[in-house]
A and B are shown apart, each in its own frame.
Chain A
Amino acid sequence: MQNWNGLTDDEFRVQAAHSFAAWCPSELKGFTHRQRWQVVKPWFLILSGRGWIAPGWPSEYGGMGLSPAKHMIYIEEYEKCGAPRLLDQALTNLGPILIARGTDGQRNEYLPRILRGESVWCQGYSEPNAGSDLAGLRTEGRVEGETIIINGHKIWTSMAFDATHMFALVRTDKAAKKQAGITFVMFEMDQPGIEVRAIRDIAGSEEFCEVFLSDVHANMRDVVGGLNGGWNIAKTLLGFERVWAGSPRQSLVALGMLERVARQMGIFDDAVFQDKFVQLTFDVSDLAATYGRSVRMLEAGGGFGYEASLLKIIATETCQRVTELLLETAQEASAMEGRQVLVGDVDVLAPFLESRAPTIYGGSSQIQRNILAKHALGLPDR
């Protein structure tokens, strides 16, 4: 097993850049939308075969065991190479949860199959009436011996149509205080009583789904964190998700597009444009500096507290502002669908529309502000 952390950060960056460039099939590079499992599966299997599929998992579980700084470099180089985003719910979220909080049986059963691409996972959290108020979820789990019978309705479940398994939050105790009656459980998607419907979003993609659950069966041995102990698991998991939502990458990509469009429009050197552009350049660079500072904190063993919420707010809102200037700059071409030759073959509308989602999912910007007000600023509750 290679000890990647024995390399310097620069050495590892060179190695990662070289590896991704050499391994990623050219026909899979440069997609703007998330691709279906059958499209990205060959790339998943290449990374899996090379031992590069789970950068953040410890090496004893088949991961690369990268330090936080090298994990960030991995992600940066991955995105620079233009490789497509994988179906990564299990790699990013479920795997780390099982490693930290699962049983040996769960780890032995699920982790190897995740790494080999034999199981593909979706996350069943939000419900039509439980979005920001996630703990208000009503999908019911009825315990019958060693089985949990699940009935309810999940929504905003990414890529559920390709999933073989779901990990979900279900209410197993209606009498308890709302956070206290929730269980984190895993089950197979290929069983009677599960219906998946794709939701078309404003950017024209069909990534999110609704999942209807009628008398779906789960095993008690597939509960993580104990019966009615799911809320803490859910919170930990959202933390993982937010750290990566705080990456400056999306904003940098959008800023690059903005420069290209402005040059094409002939206004790049215009003082009015420059004033706005430099402001946004500073916003993105200062985000990157804050992201780097958080990663160094993780590296130093500080653990993460509320950096995740802070970074998510800055990253998602900065990206929105860049896409807004992109629209303004492209004038009429901003209201056209698809890539526009007139502005340098850039699709300016898509990044604007797509940037509307991240300030809502994974805990909206307003929920992040509530979290920071309470925990980072110590402001009093009512």
Chain B
Amino acid sequence: MSTQSFHASNDGSSREEQTETVTMLRESAEDFARAKTAGRPLRAFRHVMPGYDPQLLAEMGELGWLGILAPATSGGMGLGFREMAAVLEETSAYLIAEPLTATVVLAGRVLERSANTELRSELLSSLVAGLGFPALAWQERLGNRDVLDVTTTLRPAGRAYRLEGQKQFVVGAGAASGFVVSCKQGEELILVWVPASQVKVASHWRCDGVPVLQVTFDDVPVSKAQILQAGVGAAEALRCTIIEATVMVCAELVGLSRRVLAMTLEYMGIREQYGEHIGSFQALRHRAVDLFVQRELAISVTAEAIAALGHEVSSTAMQRLASRAKARCSDAALRITREAIQLHGAIGYTDEHDLGLFVKRALALSAWLGNAAEHRAQYAGLRDVN
């Protein structure tokens, strides 16, 4: 029997179904993430605006990562979600705080779906070049993820408009150049671009030290040229983009789960009690295997979801697959990080040990764009929609 196996190694990266580009990106992302987090500079950015190092995000732009998904016409690489996921899995494994998913996927993809070709091209080119980082501001109330249920309003004023309202839970926007904002003009959903200089922001701190913004639009002037998309197209752009971002968060959760399990297994092979490595105790070995099982399920469903992206993103089947993936990956990451604390023992409870950083990132990513229970409920609600 061969011992060659996709999970024979402790890190368990899902290396089996990958093209050369994916492998290259993955390796370069891992090298980069390891080098940039050596000596634990992560902690220096916690709870300090913007919550990350904009210089590092610009360096990621030089590596081409900000343009993985963008078309060549905007200076991007025009690659797919498999490539994006490879980078996200590795950067997440090293707790990179730079908001790739929020910037490149959530904001980048909604911009790419914009009907305003001139503004789209300008903003995407700027993003790909690492010169300006857009953020998406769509949520308004806790417990409401309906993209149509917004109270932020766009009111005609002469030959232009005025924007009034407030958005919550805006992620990855600590150094944003501007916001893609969903709002209503009458019954019509509209996406507009608002430069950061024209908004008021208040930051709340997420448990992993990353700022989450409350963004207020207080009678902000908006020209016709700032309108990105209106009507059915706007809602569709938001829904599709959120599904894509949800799957990319799954890739981040997989990367994080993989790393935390590897750290825990390593510790179980070093820590001794009763004169034995704790990893030799059967009760603990079986717990570790149960975490490994969860990690493998998360890798499998994420791979399935990534492969399905790019077909009909707004289809019921894709929504349900994204929900299934987010539910599994959120649960798996939370369980693996919780159990990792237990398996590390008291050292895992200290702020000094990096494990706590992983636990908090897992909490943040699990809740973002819908936790496991929400996605199961959503899936159940969609059962009869066909």
Instruction: Decide if A and B are genuine partners.
Output: yes
B286 touches A377 (CB 8 A): no
Query: Distance in Å from the Cβ of A304 to the closest Cβ of chain B?
Result: 7
The residue from A278, A287, A296, A381 contacting B17, defined by CB atoms under 8 A apart: A296
Q: What is the bound-complex CA distance between A239 and B377, given in angstroms?
A: 38
Contact residues on B (Cβ < 8 Å of other chain), bracket: 35 or more
Interface positions of B from 1 to 58, Cβ below 8 Å from A:
1-8, 10, 16-17
B303 proximal to A (CB < 8 A)? yes
Q: Is B197's CB within 8 Å of the partner chain A?
A: no
Binding-face segment, B66-74, B90-98, B212-220, B293-301? B293-301
Q: Tell whether, in the assembled complex, residue B379 and residue A278 are in contact, meaning their CB atoms are under 8 Å apart.
A: yes
State whether the Cβ of B304 lies closer than 8 Å to any Cβ in chain A.
Answer: yes
Cβ 8 A contact of B277, one of A313, A369, A380: A380
Q: Which of A165-180 contact B (CB under 8 A)?
A: none
Closest chain A residue to B328 by CB distance?
A286
> Shortest beta-carbon distance, B208 to chain A, in Å?
26
Asked if B170 CB lies within 8 Å of chain A CBs, one says: no
Q: Which residues of B contact A285 (CB under 8 A)?
A: 301, 324
State whether A372 touches B277 (Cβ < 8 A).
no
Q: Mark A96-118, 1 if CB is under 8 A from B, else 0.
A: 00000000000000000000000
For B293, give its contact among A279, A313, A375 (CB under 8 Å): A313
* CA A154 to CA B137, docked complex, whole Å: 69
A42: chain B residues at CB < 8 Å are none
CB neighbours of B373 from chain A (8 A): 275
Q: Majority SS of interface residues in chain A?
A: helix
Contacting residue for A302 out of B16, B377, B380, CB 8 A? B16
Whether A282 pairs with B376 at a CB distance below 8 angstroms is: yes
Question: Which residue of chain A has the shortest Cβ distance to B379 in the bound complex?
Answer: A278
Complex CA gap A21/B133 in Å reads 59
- Of the listed residues B7, B268, B377, the one surrounded by the most CB atoms of chain A closer than 10 A to its CB is B7
In the complex formed, the residue of A with least CB distance to B17 is: A296
Are the C-beta atoms of A303 and B2 separated by less than 8 Å?
A: yes
CB contact under 8 A between A373 and B289, given known A279-B376, A282-B327, A297-B6 = yes
A375–B4 alpha-carbon span in the complex (Å): 11
Chain B residues whose CB sits within 8 angstroms of the CB of A236 once the complex forms? 1
Q: Is B310's CB within 8 Å of the partner chain A?
A: no
Q: Known contacts being A314-B297, A370-B282, is A376 close to B7, with CB within 8 Å?
A: yes
Cβ of B372 to closest chain A Cβ, rounded Å: 9
B334 at the interface (CB under 8 A from A): no
Which residue from B1, B268, B296 sits with its C-beta under 8 Å from A304?
B1
A-B contact pairs, 21 of them (CB 8 A): A239-B1, A275-B376, A278-B376, A285-B301, A289-B300, A290-B297, A300-B16, A303-B1, A305-B2, A305-B8, A310-B7, A369-B286, A370-B285, A373-B288, A375-B3, A377-B265, A377-B289, A378-B269, A379-B268, A379-B280, A381-B280
**A282-B379, A307-B5 given; 14 more Cβ-contact pairs under 8 Å:** A289-B300, A293-B17, A293-B299, A313-B289, A314-B296, A369-B286, A369-B289, A369-B290, A372-B289, A375-B8, A376-B8, A377-B289, A379-B265, A380-B280
The 10 closest A-B pairs by CB, nearest first: A305-B5, A303-B2, A373-B285, A289-B300, A379-B279, A290-B300, A274-B380, A286-B297, A369-B289, A380-B277
Could you list which residues of chain A lie within 8 angstroms of chain B, going by C-beta atoms?
235-236, 239, 271, 274-275, 277-279, 281-283, 285-287, 289-290, 292-293, 296-297, 300, 302-307, 310, 313-314, 366, 369-370, 372-373, 375-382
Interface residues of B (CB under 8 A from A): 1-8, 10, 16-17, 265, 268-269, 276-277, 279-280, 282, 285-286, 288-290, 292-293, 296-297, 299-301, 303-304, 324, 327-328, 373, 376-377, 379-380, 383
